[in-house]
Amino acid sequence: MEKRNIIYSPFSSITFDYKHCFLCGGLLTDSNVSDEHVFPKWLLHKYDLWNQRLCLFNETLIPYKNLTIPCCNDCNGVYLSKLENDIKSAIEHGYKSFMELDEITIFKWMTKLFYGLLFKDLSLSVDRANPQKGHLMEPEMLSKFKIVHVFLQSVKPKVKFTGNVFSLFVFNVHTNPKNDNKLDFFFSDDLLRLQLAIQVGDTGIICCIGEDGIIKESLDNYLKPFYSIKIHPIQFREIIGRVFYKKYILQVPPAYIFVNSEDECSIVSMLSSFTGKYFADIKQKELAYFIYKQLKPLGFTEEDIYHTKLDAVTSYLTNHYGNVHLIDQYGNVISDVTIKHNGYKGDLFPPKNNKPNN
């Protein structure tokens, strides 16, 4: 019998069609085919997303309900459904119960979301006029995405990784005072830099895939106060902008070693810089743009976030005196509490007005 590689790579043959399982690459037949929803059905129902649209990287607007990818019964029923059930029951019980999940489970789920969208994107970006010419994406980008699929295969017990291959941030977020589920869902991804964020109910999750945990490490001091308080959705979005920007200025690419044994594959990741400088210098205007992109859907303008004259970024996380902003569910700043931010260097600008009225 022909020995199959433990790791399936759709990137070597560029197979992003609907005839093969997205996870294991197995040929799909009428009897073993199933549709895997990128965003699970329970989530679409709960947050009323069924007919809402998401903008893919290639600018296609696609309803959430149509975000399905081809999967075999085995992968769907055995591996993915276990993952989905674990996440579903944790999210349904709220932030506290979500925090009891292990980080690897959350990482796998976030990777599944990311890869599902990537698959959809790649399957739509085949040059339809010349299908044999392949994809409209650069080969360099495709090879970057390859590692995401390898991580995803860790939903099966034969693929393991050692050390950190991701940065994961989980926050407790205020739900809206109107108790309207629709307002407690938010999704944002940065396909090019392998990162994504989601708010589901009172839980906000940000994940950077494949960088040896350096983003989390570098922001830990800054973000520490916000792990122990309940934050406003606007603050969550500001944090997303700051995390995504940090990854943007990371100038050292991670390297991976695959250690294959008879029936297991281990992934070892490494990140090292000869000069010891991992990040490019922060440019306030760029940082402001990353934050603005997250806040734009709520009606913020670029001027709300970036002050040209001062070359400063508005922050909803700390005030001018370096105190952590506590904001209630209604968007009001709780003013009599002062938690001194330990990372404060006096370089943050206070909000111009009490914008967080959502």
Least distance between Zn ion and beta carbon 88 (Å): 21
Applying CB under 5 A, which of residues 8, 11, 23, 44 lies at the interface with Zn ion?
A: 23
> From CA 61, how far away is CA 54, in angstroms rounded?
6
φ/ψ (deg, to 5) at 313:
-105, 135
User: Closest CB to Zn ion among 33 and 183?
Assistant: 33
Q: Could you tell me the smallest distance in angstroms from the CB atom of residue 119 to Zn ion?
A: 13
Query: Does residue 24 belong to the site contacting Zn ion (CB under 5 A)?
Result: yes
Contact between 75 and Zn ion by CB under 5 A: the answer reads yes
From 65-73, 231-239, 248-256, 280-288, span contacting Zn ion (CB under 5 A): 65-73
Name the region of 102 (left: φ>0; alpha: ψ -120 to 50; beta: rest).
beta
Q: How far is the CB of 71 from Zn ion (least distance, A)?
A: 6
Region binding Zn ion by CB under 5 A among candidate stretches 71-79, 217-225, 303-311, 337-345: 71-79
Name which of 78 and 268 has its Cβ closer to Zn ion: 78
Map the chain to HEC letters: CCCCCCCCCHHHHCCCCCCECCCCCCECCCCCEEEEECCCHHHHHHCCCCCCEEECCCCCEEEHHHCEEEEEHHHHHHHHHHHHHHHHHHHHCCHHHHCCCCHHHHHHHHHHHHHHHHHHHHHHCECCCCHHHCECCCHHHHHHHHHHHHHHHHHCCCEEEECCCEEEEEEEECCCCCCCHHHHEEEEEEHHHCEEEEEECCEEEEEEECCCCHHHHHHHHHHHHHHCCEECHHHHHHHHHHHHHHHHCECCCCEEEEEECCCCEEEEEECCCCCCCCECCCCHHHHHHHHHHHHHHHCCCHHHHEECCCCEEECCCECCCCEECCECCCCCECCCCCCECCCCCCCCECCCCCCCCC
Query: Judged by CB under 5 A, which stretch of 22-30, 135-143, 149-157, 286-294 contacts Zn ion?
Result: 22-30
234 binds Zn ion (CB under 5 A): no
Size of interface with Zn ion, in residues (CB under 5 A): 6
Q: Is 317 in the site for Zn ion (CB under 5 A)?
A: no
Q: How far is the CB of 72 from Zn ion (least distance, A)?
A: 3
C-beta of 21 vs 38, nearer to Zn ion: 21
**Rounded to the nearest whole angstrom, what is the least distance from the CB of residue 32 to Zn ion in the complex?**
8
Nearer to Zn ion, 150 or 197 (CB): 150
Closest by Cα among 71, 40, 263, 267 to 154: 267
Under the binding rule (CB under 5 A), the answer on residue 44 touching Zn ion is no
Decide: 153 and 25 in contact? Cβ < 8 Å. Answer: no
Choose between 12 and 353: whose C-beta lies nearer to Zn ion.
12
> Binding segment for Zn ion among 70-78, 111-119, 211-219, 297-305 (CB under 5 A)?
70-78
- Residue closer to Zn ion by CB (options 72, 197) is 72
| Distance of closest approach, residue 22 Cβ to Zn ion, in angstroms | 8
Residue 145, CB half-sphere, CA atoms under 13 Å: how many?
Answer: 24
Taking the least distance from each CB to Zn ion, the nearer of 26 and 350 is 26
Q: With binding defined as CB under 5 A, does residue 6 bind Zn ion?
A: no
Q: Is 72 in the site for Zn ion (CB under 5 A)?
A: yes
Considering only residues 8, 10, 20, 21, which one is a binding residue for Zn ion as defined by CB under 5 A?
A: 21
Judged by beta carbon, residue 21 or residue 208, the one nearer Zn ion is 21
Least Å from the CB of residue 21 to Zn ion: 3
Name the residue nearer to Zn ion (CB basis): 72 or 152: 72
Q: Could you list the residues that contact Zn ion (CB under 5 A)?
A: 21, 23-24, 26, 72, 75
